[in-house]
Structure 1
Amino acid sequence: MSVGDGGRTLWERAWEGLRPIDPYRSVKAALGALVIISVIITTFLIFVAFHSAIELRVIAIFAVIASLLITQFVAHGLVAPLDEMTDAARSMARGDYARRVRFDRRDELGELGATFNRMAADLEAVDRHRKELVANVSHELRTPIAGLRAVLENVVDGVSDADPETMRTALRQTERLSGLVEHLLDLSRLDHGVVPLHARRFEVWPNLANVLREANTAKGPAHSRTDVHLHLDVSPPELTAHADVERLHQVMANLIDNAVKHSPPHGRVTVRARPGSQPQGLELEVQDEGPGIPECDRDLVFERFSRTATAKAGQDGGTGLGLAIARWAVDLHGGRIRVAESPRGCRMRVTLPGLGRLPD
């Protein structure tokens, strides 16, 4: 440590030690200063009375008036921050958590104001998280419900028979719906870092084929994009990886749903899977033929409730939650999701680390 640093540290310690007697940094010291100033003024006026022709009772009146004025001035400085915090607390009671107190003090009231603002920020974050959780649940449950509804309506309308294969498809959608309820409730624990991750070794082709099959099944009354062709490319076909299968299903379902929505008429969505650079790692891509994502929006699309230039131009941009949820699930694996360069359309790339690289 340099001499300058040591001197500055010593000065800071000395200044902190003088805080109890600094009227600008201590309410107690300010009240003590008020009493001292009042006594000094009264003593001065009495001294003047003894050395002049002014009556003592007149001096007493002036002393009382001066003390009252000083007391009023100090009291106003102490009470004004409390009044502002009271107004802010009432606003928060009505649901306005964006309200903050604004005053610059170095005393205990300043510390109270800073603590109040931190509390308001925490409450605002909790309220925002609660609203986002409800929106996430609504967004995530829509796809399996639409798929299940499509299967049941086809059976009721006689389009398909209630054979075992159709019922198995409906059962898979129901199981998927039940799993989503459990997994989306984990969002409430996301900020606390206690979201569970159940990674295991699995075969990539059957898993992704199931995702595409469910995406095709969901093309019913709730989806108008029955013209988009879904293509799966896994190389090698026997590729295996190590990850949480349900979370990965969640990621791919969101990416495919997003790609289908932005595909042109009779477009093509390609899902590719390749081995990762780490053992049991995985590289995934979802490529569409839509308008793509402007470079300025490529980081923003993964934020919750974000809307790209395409969405702002009038096209369906969704709720802005699908890609945010996908990034959340990928982050749980310690992986990465990003918008990759593509000569046409949009290409989403997901990198999962595989064995030995998953977070605890």
Structure 2
Amino acid sequence: MLPSLNSPRDDLRPSRLSLKLFVVILLTNVLISGLVFLFVSRSLDQGFISYLERSQATRAETLAGALGEQWQERGSWQWLRDDPSAWQSLVRSQLWSSERRPPSGIDRELTDAGGFVLLDELSNPVIGEPLLDAPAQDPALPPAPEPHFVPIRSDGITVGQLGYLPPERLMARMDRIFLDRQQRSLTIIIGSLFLASLLLAGGLSWWLGRRARTMTLATRRLTLGDYSVRLSERGRDELSRLSHDFNLLAETLDANRRARQRWVADIAHELRTPLAVLRGEIEAMQDGVRPLSVESLGSLQQEVDQLGHLVEDLRLLAQSDAGALDMHLIPVDLADSLVQRLEDGRARLESLGFRLVLDTESVLVRADSQRLRQLWNNLLSNTIAYTDSPGELRVTLRARRHHAEVIWEDSAPGVPDAELPRLTERLYRVEGSRNRRSGGSGLGLSIASALISAQGGTLVPSASPLGGLRWTLTFPLASAASDARAKEPNR
């Protein structure tokens, strides 16, 4: 039983290719998302520290200027020692109001007493811990950054120092406020990317897996001999082109099978006819109906010769198919070979009512002289057999740029255009005027095509202006054939 291409059960079952594609696409997207997360987190960390450094320095300079003005009015820092809340009021009035925005959690951390320290002119603390001493650290860890100080001046005299912690010292608290918030957003983004990757990987793997499974089942059916199988060719991608090539292969195999069946049937028919004649004549002689005489033996000899010619034609075509056709290619003047054969047959043509017109020029090609004569014989026999008398045969030979061209055309009757491509098929005969009236085997043109192909040429049929059939034969020139062989790589 042949497998079905569109089984619903197979559509729902994932294939191995689908699973592999799903895993590969999913892992790739997860890896990319993880790298993006790490890169963005590191970029935020480093960028945030740079932002804090610039922001802290600007705020410290602004606050130092305001403190200098307050010292000039009050003459000392005692007002801050007596009223610590005045410090917070000063910070808010100088920093947050100037920026015209409400303070964020980060701003509060930067501007708390823990973020700044005020020293008087003798370096005694006014606000904050003295010298911003950092807690003891593990000796194995790198040393903590030193605090930065901005001088406070009044009338050109230094009246104190405003110190602030560098951002690295505040990052432990800043992480909880800013980086955690950003990483939370990144986590949401990465989670969304993961979900999108999951859906993308699942959909893409299912689609590709389904297409691959369909092609696999179609190929299996093709190997089992079902040449009627076809694939959908929707789209313009590589898979659609592959489906087109598969369908073309199936059509070719189907045509070859039909041709092989027809070929075997036609061979059996062609062999059966002379054998039946031989059997009938022999039985007539055995029964005494027909005397055993030289004339009777001559009739038997004709049937045997016809049978021998048919077998020899079949052997030649089999050799051509196997690439074992014996050829001795040498430089040959194509005009000499063509004219000699047609002049030899001129008397026969004229006796049958045919007019022969020759127009040739000397052209040197690489060919086999014996096979060329056999080629001319087949074409001449085809013209005599299928052209009405009185008729005309016109043969023209011209040298082109890279090849020699022979135009062989005869008079009516012609061949329908739809039948032209099939004329060189084996045992094929056109119904109607060009039928088997001559008793031929239907292999002459097939042999002619095989002979010219073995010599590197082509044989193309078309309609003749004379009303019959026109054959265009091309042969590679001797110089072109030599150049082509010279360019071939050494084996």
- TM-score where L is the length of structure 2: 0.38
- State the structure with more CA Rg: 2
- TM-score where L is the length of structure 1: 0.48
